[in-house]
Structure 1
Amino acid sequence: MSARRKVLVLVVSVLVLACVGGVAVWRADARAARKDQVQAGGPEVRPGPVSLAAGGPPRIVFRSMAWGPHRDELTSVPASAPNGPRAASGVKCLRFAAGGGTGICLQAERGPVNDTYRAVVLDSALHETRHVDLAGIPTRARVSPSGRMVAWTVFVGGDSYAGTNFSTRTSILDTRTGVLQPTLEDYTVTRDGKRLRAADVNFWGVTFADDTHFYATLATGGHTYLIHGDTATRTAVTLRTNVECPSLSPDGTRIAFKKRVPGLSPDAPWRLYVLDLSTLKDHPLAEPRNVDDQPTWTDNATLSYSLPGNYGSDLYTVPANGTGTPHLLTPSALSPTWLGGSHQG
């Protein structure tokens, strides 16, 4: 074979290998793109705009639990198509809530030895406006309807509400003034007309009525109480017992909550109930399973809540009046907020 022919064969071989390599790379990119959009038979998730603005079409913003590159990111879907393609924001949260164009995102910062946590205040475009270091594992978050006040709860000891060996810390931040109330344990609490003084108090699960008034859970002496608090005077009063993780209805007349029901397993003791604030009487909802979540009102007639799922958590809905049956809203999702309408809780 002549030298010229050898060179020609070499050039052709190089070109063929380059072509094969290019096809392989293209196919790998295509597979990655498909994986980026569709998660192993789960919901379609792809990068897209996510807004917390109060206006616009009705939509749901939540933490996506679907496996893939967008797991734990805030994603958005139309409220009319909860199982539709998800727009992923790139912002990761463990717990999330929004209202009035403000969001609160409780995040984990992974370290080589220990994880740390922080509460990040977001504007309507998901830009950070402030953050606060947290003393423990995030568990609950809420925003007042105007967006001015944000609250969060963390576990500073233990990691479950089911037992008695846990400690929580609940904080409220005024995003307008920057004033942080680091713990509700500094509040003056009245029970049965007398000031409550106890070393074992825990607070969790704030739900705002407005920028001054809120409801939450207080635990002491082996009992839980629904409290009505005032951020201006830093006072609270107990209303009734056996109310955990309250959520105020958009019309401000009812509280959805999880209630410990006698006779159930200590590891799964809760059922969903709704309390009428005018009478302090409650009724059970048509969800027979244990619910360890702070429910969210989708509107004045329906509640949303999470249950364990294949990827960590699925969202369900159930009528607030006790009728009907539970309905799977969307799989692989947690911490939803309904936007584009009048929602709170």
Structure 2
Amino acid sequence: MTSLRRRLLVLVAAVLALAGVATGMVLHAADRAERADRPRPGDPAVVAGKVTLRHADRLVFVNGAAGPYRKAVASVPSAAPGDGRVASDLECVRFHAAAGTGVCLQSDPGVLKQSNRALLLDSDLRTKRTFALAGTPSRARVSPSGRFAAWTVFVSGESYASAFFSTRTSILDTRTMRLIPSLETFSIVLDGKPYRAADVNFWGVTFATDDDTFYATLNTADTTYLVRGSVSGRSVTTLTENVECPSLSPDGTRVVYKKRVLSRTNLWREHVLDLRSLRETPLAERRSVDDQATWLDDDTVVYALPTNGEVGSSDLWSVPADGTGSPRRLITGASSPAPL
């Protein structure tokens, strides 16, 4: 057998082997998706219908209950979150909304390449603009007025718990459609001094009501900081350390965040920080929460936790923001809450 024929046979065998692996991956993913879509006893009732961001008495979220509407944006009455839910035909990995404006992060896995995008939505969940994402969706937020939308993606790595990860955080002006592709272009004041470094990462933006101020996490030199930023000034200033995924309270005086505690059982614990005194209060939730919590009102925060430890399935829990009380399950099979 000639050397050329031998090389051709090796090449053909390699191509066939790769095709077999790819087919197996697709079939395995399809089987997992089919099993995930099978309703289970006790799952909430979900019906198709119109979901709008104009109603002030609804809680909107990404439906995680098994069935044909899994990953659909859905809503329930704010006063009765355990009631049956109405599901739209829009599917998202992450979602947030305020003042009639929504943002939906989508991810379509492929054998060779994953496709990720951000959708800017109107009050009827219709897409106004689409933006390609540089990585896997992680966080999404809309400012209280609807003026700004922000999102964070993993450019490398898949978790904030990973020793090696890189993020990219963008801010969109929904009026002018001007996109700031990365907060890493902003100037940084760290501990009162100008700061620059190649390892800077931002994530978890949350907006104030003035259509300029925001808070976020800055990570550099293996340390995380809470920063206060200005969209117009393209700058951020550090406030304190060990703050991740902040969420500003409706009254603008506090942020709820996950604090790295590195105990034997937990990686993070939810805390609330008073922005004037910088005094922190640990919340009654003692399980490790890897989420950007949301304020239901000035006294209560809500966050996602895995359903019975299952990967890819979560429930929404709530807890008082003053450190008292105890956690309670708010909505089963749900994530990315947005109180309207």
TM-score in terms of structure 2 length? 0.86
Determine the structure 2 residue equivalent to 1:309.
Answer: 307
- CA spacing shift, 1:37–1:309, aligned 2, 3 Å: closer
Cα shift readout 1:16-64 (whole Å, capped 9, x = no counterpart):
xxxxxxxxxxxxxxxxxxxx997543010010111112xx341110000
Cα shift readout 1:87-143 (whole Å, capped 9, x = no counterpart):
000100000000110000001134343221000000000000001000111010000
SS of 1:67 mapped into structure 2: coil
Alignment of 1:1-345 (within 5 A): 40-53=41-54, 56-210=55-209, 211-264=211-264, 268-310=266-308, 312-339=313-340
Cα shift readout 1:228-283 (whole Å, capped 9, x = no counterpart):
00010101100000000000000000010000115445xx4100000000101101
Contact 1:37 1:44 in 2 (8 A): no
Paired letter, 1:333: A
How far apart in 1 are the matches of 2:170 and 2:319? Answer: 30
Percent identity between the two aligned chains: 55
Paired letter, 1:41: G
305-314 vs 268-277, which moves further = 305-314
The offset of 1:86, in angstroms, is: 0.7
How far apart in 1 are the matches of 2:262 and 2:157? Answer: 23
The offset of 1:204, in angstroms, is: 0.1
Contact 1:38 1:45 in 2 (8 A): no
How far apart in 2 are the matches of 1:182 and 1:301? Answer: 34
How far apart in 2 are the matches of 1:202 and 1:288? Answer: 27
Paired letter, 1:94: V
- CA spacing shift, 1:164–1:38, aligned 2, 3 Å: closer
Contact 2:296 2:302 in 1 (8 A): yes
Paired letter, 2:330: L
Which runs of no fewer than 5 residues in structure 2 stay unpaired? 1-36
- CA spacing shift, 1:37–1:57, aligned 2, 3 Å: farther
SS of 1:160 mapped into structure 2: coil
How far apart in 2 are the matches of 1:231 and 1:284? Answer: 30
The offset of 1:160, in angstroms, is: 0.7
Contact 2:38 2:66 in 1 (8 A): no
Contact 2:139 2:203 in 1 (8 A): yes
Paired letter, 1:332: G
Paired letter, 1:207: T
Contact 1:57 1:78 in 2 (8 A): no
Cα shift readout 1:297-324 (whole Å, capped 9, x = no counterpart):
0000000001100561000000000000
TM-score in terms of structure 1 length? 0.84
Contact 1:63 1:336 in 2 (8 A): yes
Paired letter, 1:238: T
Which runs of no fewer than 5 residues in structure 1 stay unpaired? 1-35, 340-345
How far apart in 1 are the matches of 2:39 and 2:306? Answer: 21
SS of 2:307 mapped into structure 1: coil
- CA spacing shift, 1:154–1:325, aligned 2, 3 Å: same
The offset of 1:148, in angstroms, is: 1.2
How far apart in 2 are the matches of 1:334 and 1:263? Answer: 25
Structure ID, larger Rg: 1
SS of 2:184 mapped into structure 1: helix
Determine the structure 2 residue equivalent to 1:21.
Answer: none
Contact 1:104 1:143 in 2 (8 A): yes
Paired letter, 2:288: N
- CA spacing shift, 1:71–1:263, aligned 2, 3 Å: closer
Contact 1:214 1:228 in 2 (8 A): yes
* Superposition CA RMSD, Å: 1.5
Paired letter, 2:298: N
Paired letter, 2:137: P
SS of 1:124 mapped into structure 2: coil
The offset of 1:288, in angstroms, is: 1.0
Determine the structure 2 residue equivalent to 1:6.
Answer: none
Paired letter, 1:286: A
